[in-house]
Each structure stands twice: as structure tokens, then as C-alpha cells.
Amino acid sequence: MGILPVVQEPAPNSATGIRAVLRAPGAPSLVVSSLIGAIAAGAIGLLLVLHVRELGGSYAFAGIVAGSYTAGLALSAPLVGRAVDRLGQTIVLGVGMVVTAACMLTMALLPASAPDVLLPLLAVGGGLVHPPIGACTRALLPKVIDDEDTLHSAYALESSALEASYIAGPLLIGGLIAPYSTRWGLAACAAVLVLGTGWFITLRPSREWKPDPGTATLPVGGLGALGSPGVRVLLLVLTAFAVSFGAIEVAVTAFATELDRTGATGPLLAAWGLGSLVGGLAMANAKKAPDDPARRLIIVLAVLAAGNLALVLASSSWLLAGLLPLAGLAIAPAFAVVHAMAGVAAKDGTTVEAFAWLGTGVSAGAASGAALAGVAADSGGVGWSFGVAFGGIAVALLLFVSAWPRVQRLAPAAVSAT
């Protein structure tokens, strides 16, 4: 027994953080293919708005079309995730990839004279079956990485990659291709989705992933992943947290408009996303997973609350440009901690569905934040819309602090394993 500490001590040159993830067999391909597949999700909303406008539609109708896609995605994600848990990844992701890409291509080919109802129908159809590649990636990471510290880095790297995809999508497809032709932009979006998802489902970890043997006995109409108290609490926390996403997008747009600098909206939001990317990479490069994930989540939520509160004080575009990266710094780290905790809290056979529920929470929270921030901006000014972002994170922090101790009492073994 006395020699165990010497035997288990890592070699001086052993890889940690991001290097350890990149050296884990199968992990880099999962993260990169997932990143490529997610680029389409990051660009589709902007593309649909631009496409409707190119066809001569109003901004109101463009919002309906883009919102239809998001609504379809949010409503069906848990059901699609449950299908993955029951049927496996290959068939569900493959079918979703083909149908979603077909909807995108059909929207690209519709003439301007086509009935207006077709665009929102195709949009909601594409959203309903959009392949949950991110949820599948998070479910697979513990299968290819058995070291707790490396797994923590992998979740942080995956969160950073997702942030990068949401920056790259609007920049590459919306910024470079769509101005030339939104039809080609939608076609490119479909191609990227097929490239990323198609690569993902050919990878051995995804092909060999099998549903948990106990999944078949779960009642179809049961709570599924929401049967876990931990997953329910994390869903509520992430939904409140995501209110800040929609609120900041609206607040930054209103801020730039008030200063008659609408062209600055994109770069300002990119700065915000860049802050999240940097924070996620920093966490991914950490040598050790947090000893107490719950305490770490409280810290990152508190940092986010402070950063968003500072945005209320911004009086110029330059000051806002400096504050936004700081406000976004802890976003990807917060996602990484939540995903790690959810992966442990989820009941056997419901892991993909649990991650899909978290994605639905993010969509619902962001949509609510955008609506609330719009009302706040109209009634009280831009500062109040930034206040909505702060309020969402403050609620998330209060929810977690008040509810998580009860979860620990109900299922101490599950939460302590994080």
C-alpha cells in the first residue's frame, strides 16, 4: 500500500488538459465532427431571415420562419434524444440529417411565388428532426475517456467548440455566402450539416454505441430523463441562465441602433462569443477537474452575474466592446460544469435525452430573454434590457443554491460522483 502514491503519480511529461483530450482515442474526431455539424445550427436562423427578405418578405414574416425552425427544434429535441436512447445513434442521426438537409434545400429552391405557408412548414419540419449531434457527443465522451480530469477538459473543449461553431456559422455562411445568394447559403448550410453529421455517425464510438439494456423497459410516456431530480434542477438552472443569451442579443442590437452604429452589432456579439470561447479553452486546459462541481458552478454563475451587471453601465460602443468579452468569459465553463453534472445525474438509458432537454431549456430561455429584453428596451431603455440578462443569471444562481442541496439529500451517490 505504501508504494501506491508513487505508482499512480503521473509522469512529468504526461499530457493534461486539452493535450490529454486530443490524445484520447476517438475523442478529437467526435469533437471536430460535432463542431462541423453544429455550424448549420448556428447559421440557420440568420440565413432564414436573410432568405425571406431576399424573396421580398417582411421582417415580421422572416421572424416567423426563423422562429418556426427554433420552435420545432426546441419542442422535439427531448423526443429525438429519447429515440436515440432507445434505437441508437446511427439511425436517428442519419434520418434526421437527411430530412433536415432536404428541408433546407427545398427552402432554397422555392420560387418567390410559392405560397407563404410553405417556408414556415419546411422550417418547423427541419427543426423537428434536426440531429442532436451535441447531445450525442456529450453522451459518448465518457465512453472514450475514462480519466475524470481529462473528461472534465473534454466537456469544456466541447463547449468551446460549440461556441466556435456559433461564431463561425454566421461569419462563414451568413457573412460570406449569403450576401451573394441566400439560396447558396442554405445549400451550404445543408452541405455542412451532412458533412459533420455524416462523419460523426461513421466514427466507431457512435456506430458501436448501444442503448442501455434497461432502456427498453422504460415506459414510453414516462418522465424519462426528467425522472432524475438532478436533471430537473439543472434544466431549470440552464433555462434561467439562457435568458441572458436572448436578452444580450436584443440589448446589443438596441444599443448599437441608439448610437446609429447598427453595423457594430455583429462585431460586438462576436466579442461576447469570443470571451466565452477563451473561457472554455482556459477551463479545458486545466490539469484537474473541480473537486466540488456544485461549488464551481456557483462561482461561474456569480462571475457571469457580475459581468452582466457591468453591461448596464456601458455608455459607449468602445466600453461595451471591452465589457462584453468579460461578460461572456464564464459561459462555456458554466456549460461544461452543467454537462458534466447532468451526465452523472441522468438515469441509465436516458443520457442523450437528458442533454437534449438541456438544449431545449437553452432555446426556451433565450427566446424568453429576447422577448423580455425587447419589452424592457421599449419601456425603460437599453440599460433595462441588459438588466434582464443579469436577472436571468441571478435567478439561475438562486435556483441552484436553493435546490441542489435537496438533490444531494435525495440522491447523494449520484451527485457526489460528479
Give the burial string for 301-322 (b: 16+ CB within 10 Å, else e).
Answer: bebbbebbbbbbebeebeebbe
- 197 within 8 A of 38, measured Cβ to Cβ: no
Determine the pLDDT at residue 288: 78
- Cα angle 137, 133, 331 (rounded to 5 degrees) comes to 70
Q: Which residues of 330-367 are buried (b: 16+ CB within 10 A; e: fewer)?
A: bbbbbbbbbbbbbbbbbbebbbbbbbbbbbbbbbbbbb
Cell 426528467: give the residue: 226
Sequential pLDDT tens for the chain (418 residues): 344 444 344 444 456 788 888 888 889 999 999 989 988 887 887 788 788 888 888 867 887 888 888 888 888 888 898 899 888 899 999 999 999 999 999 999 999 888 989 999 999 999 999 999 988 998 899 888 888 888 888 888 888 888 787 777 767 776 677 778 889 989 999 999 999 999 999 999 999 887 766 554 444 446 788 888 999 999 999 999 999 988 888 888 788 777 777 667 667 877 888 888 899 888 888 777 777 888 999 999 999 999 999 998 887 878 888 999 999 999 989 998 998 899 888 888 888 889 889 988 988 888 888 888 888 888 888 888 899 999 999 999 999 999 888 877 655 444 544 4
Closest alpha carbon to 170 in 42, 292, 270, 272: 42
Contact 172, 44 (CB under 8 A): no
